[in-house]
Structure 1
Amino acid sequence: MMGHIVNARLDMVAECAADYFKKYHTRLDFPDVLKRLYDQKKLSTVPLKFRPSFRRLEKEAFMGHAYSQIVHVDLVLSGPEHDIIQETNIIPVSKDVFTVVNLPYINPYMHFHNFFEVVYVYCGNGILNFAGENEKLEEGDLKIIAPHSKHSILAGENSLILSINIRTTTFDQVSSSLLDTKTLLSAFFINALYGEKHGNYISFKIENRQEWEEMIQKIFDETNIEDNFANEIAIHMIHVFFGRLLRNFGNTIHLYDSKMGSSQY
């Protein structure tokens, strides 16, 4: 139906989802918002290009920048009709890491996938539903959700919650030199990569947010740029990101395991 539609700007998708919710008091799935925009003849057939900032932005400026993201319509509409999301449904072919925005007013349906997801609450709040239990998300919360973990994310109004999606093979390569640190965090990664496949995630509270958010802004840009260097730069930055997590939080993590429940270390 949308064979000639190349992509769309995220701010237009967000506006459509918000308008629908305010009118009908119910949330649409992301693909349904795109179809609604198509029916309203608001999607362009002209390719759109994401423009990186290449400098640190203040909170409100970065929110606006994040909403200038380009939505890969073909990826979204090729997604499954069930609750399993594959790498190919969300991460572009040319990329190993891809950052997306969790929009308010989008239906937070339960799903699981075969890649790692790093969730960061840049501002505002939200709700993480994990294995049927709700957890409030607040500014500075960072979650690493292992593959095969059923969950959903609902972003609050005027909130920015980012998901950094990493191919499992890429994560394996990036983390290989970090897994010998014998910390609780590295043990989580080893179990997620090589252990029994069941739902779990680890949680952090970021205190020195300026340092981390500057890095997350750069990751957002590099994972959304289309050029010959962006993917390698993004992989390098993810390596640095996890290295800093191991340095700062290696033995102080909050683990949720769907079999054992919540544990604090």
Structure 2
Amino acid sequence: MNFYISIGEIQDHIEEYHRVTGEAPDFPFILHQIYTQKHYLKEFPGTIDTSSLIRLEDDDFLKEIRKLYFYFSDKILHIPERFDIVPPNAGLTVVYQFWGCKDFIHLHDCFEIDYVYRGQCELTFLDEQQILTEGDFCILSPFTRHNVTLLNKDSYIFPIYIKESTFSKLFFPLLSSDDILSDFFRKILSSSEEANYLLIKTDASCEIKDLVKKLFLENFRYDNYVERCNIYWINLLFVYVLRSYHIYQQFSYYKSGPDHIPIVRYIQSHYKTVTLPILAERFHYSVPYLSKIIKENTGKNFTQLIKTLKMKEALEYLEKTDLSIEEISEKTGYNSADHFYRVFKEYQGISPQQYRKEFLKKRAENFPW
């Protein structure tokens, strides 16, 4: 069953939760709260007149879109981890990033395109952090751990998600061009050596902002032409970004090599369950040769790499949630809390409980208010 909630209703609930508890809520929790309080619509609210909203100045536009309704499947209330960012029957979607929700490092199987419409946000990408400002245009490749955080209430981005499996079909003309965007996408889609993200600094031009508005509003039309229009707007957006950019940078976390990128990306996405034999079968290498590729290009053997990825996720849970040690051990792919406890203590030098206690103590000392 689908249900419909306005952007303003969601944002108001997030801010109220933060005001009462002093903490940032999980997005699924907020939706569940709104659903329980029956602050939603059961029926489709109808299409909107996008032309009138596009013509608005920024302040009025950002105010009026609070009245727009997103639809959600009730799956997100019961099985949030299986909720699809891009609907199963679509190749792409554009969403609204809410200010004040709980941050967490995550990955997904689609390209993410973030244009900073207003204000600033912080990009955390693997072990790197940097501030993106108005006009920055950042493309994140699939299966890479990242987080994008709005730095204040007056900052806005409208993330665009494009399935990797459908990119070449939807944007084939782009792939035949000779420019930084085409090169970036070709390298990733061909599984050869590639950058993990592409950050382009553009002028905060009216043309780009208008295209982002059109992309965002198109997703509230709910008809058979939405995806075709989105493909058109995104192609235009790419052209205007290329026309107005003045500097760019690419990022590659691992050492270069002809074979390791798709392997490491697969490990990043499946590290809770993947084994060397499974990996060898998938990429058609012997286990010894695959082990050599991983060691040479990451500096770690397979077991060490898996442990590092699991421990990074465990630290996130210990720092940013109140999940029990048993729950964290399950979420990070360990078959028992005892096993998780031993590995964590060996990796960090202290127990999970001690780590959480010391982290909370330091946070309280640094931020006493």
Query: TM exceeds 0.5?
Result: yes
Task: Report the CA distance between 1:69 and its aligned residue.
Answer: 3.5
SS at match of 1:107: coil
Q: For residue 156 of structure 2, what is the aligned residue in structure 1?
A: 160
The equivalent of 1:103 in structure 2 is 98
Contact 1:129 1:153 in 2 (8 A): yes
Contact persistence 1:78–1:89 (CA under 8 A): no
The aligned counterpart of 1:150 is 145
Letter of the structure 2 residue corresponding to residue 142 of structure 1: F
Whether the 8 Å CA contact 1:95–1:223 is kept in 2: the answer is: no
The one of 11, 16, 25 aligned to 1:14? 11
Deviates more, 1:8-17 or 1:126-135: 126-135
Higher-Rg structure is 2
Moved over 6 A (4+): none
**CA distance in structure 2 between the partners assigned to 1:31 and 1:137 by the alignment:** 26
Q: Which runs of 5+ in 2 are unaligned?
A: 256-369
Instruction: Give, in whole Å, the separation in 1 of the partners of 2:108 and 2:78.
Output: 15
SS at the partner of 1:227? coil
Q: CA RMSD in A?
A: 2.6
Q: Give 1:100 deviation, angstroms.
A: 0.7
1:26 offset after TM fit, Å?
1.0
1:227, 1:51 → 2: CA distance?
11
Q: Do the aligned partners of 1:222 and 1:234 also contact (CA within 8 Å) in 2?
A: yes
- The amino acid that maps onto 1:71 is F
Deviation at 1:198, TM superposition (A): 8.2
Q: Distance in 2 between matches of 1:57 and 1:254?
A: 33
**Aligned counterparts, 1:169-188, within 5 A:** 169-188=165-184
Give 1 or 2: higher helix fraction.
2
- Whole-Å Cα distance in 2 between the matches of residues 122 and 79 of structure 1? 31
**In 1, Cα distance between the equivalents of 2:137 and 2:146?**
15
User: In the TM superposition, what is the alpha-carbon distance from 1:98 to its structure 2 partner?
Assistant: 1.2
Instruction: Please report how far the alpha carbon of residue 142 of structure 1 lies from its aligned counterpart in structure 2 after TM superposition.
Output: 1.2
Match of 2:111 among 102, 116, 121: 116
Partner of 2:135: 140
Distance 1:208 1:26 in 2: 33
Which one of 43, 46, 69 corresponds to residue 43 of structure 2?
46
The aligned counterpart of 1:60 is 59
Q: Gaps spanning 5+ residues in structure 1: where?
A: 261-265
- Residue 197 of structure 1, CA deviation: 8.9
Deviations 1:104-124 (A, max 9, x none): 111122111111111011112
Question: Secondary structure of 1:211's match?
Answer: helix
Give the corresponding residue for 2:268: none
TM-score between the two structures when normalised by the length of structure 2: 0.62
- Equivalent residue, structure 2, for 1:218: 214
| 1:203 paired to 2:202 | no
What do the CA deviations read for 1:116-158 (whole angstroms, capped 9, x no partner)? 1110111122211111332212211111111112111211212
Q: Does 1:125 align with 2:120?
A: yes
The residue type paired with residue 230 of structure 1 is V
- Contact 1:124 / 1:160 at 8 angstroms: preserved in 2? yes
* Native 8 Å contact 1:125 1:159 kept in 2: yes
Counterpart residue identity of residue 218, structure 1 = K
Deviates more, 1:66-75 or 1:123-132: 66-75
Shift of 1:214: 0.8
TM-score under structure 1 length normalisation? 0.84
Alignment deviations for residues 19-52 of structure 1 (CA, whole Å, 9 cap, x no partner): 1112211111110001111233323323333524
Q: Which has the higher contact order (CA 8 A, sep 6+)?
A: 1
State yes or no: 1:23 paired with 2:31. no
Aligned residues: 252
Secondary structure class of the residue paired with 1:214: helix
Report the Cα distance in structure 1 between the residues aligned to 2:91 and 2:125, rounded to whole angstroms: 25
**Residues 11 and 199 of structure 1: is their aligned pair in 2 closer, same or farther, counting only changes over 3 Å?**
farther
| CA distance in 2: counterparts of 1:164 and 1:69, whole angstroms | 17
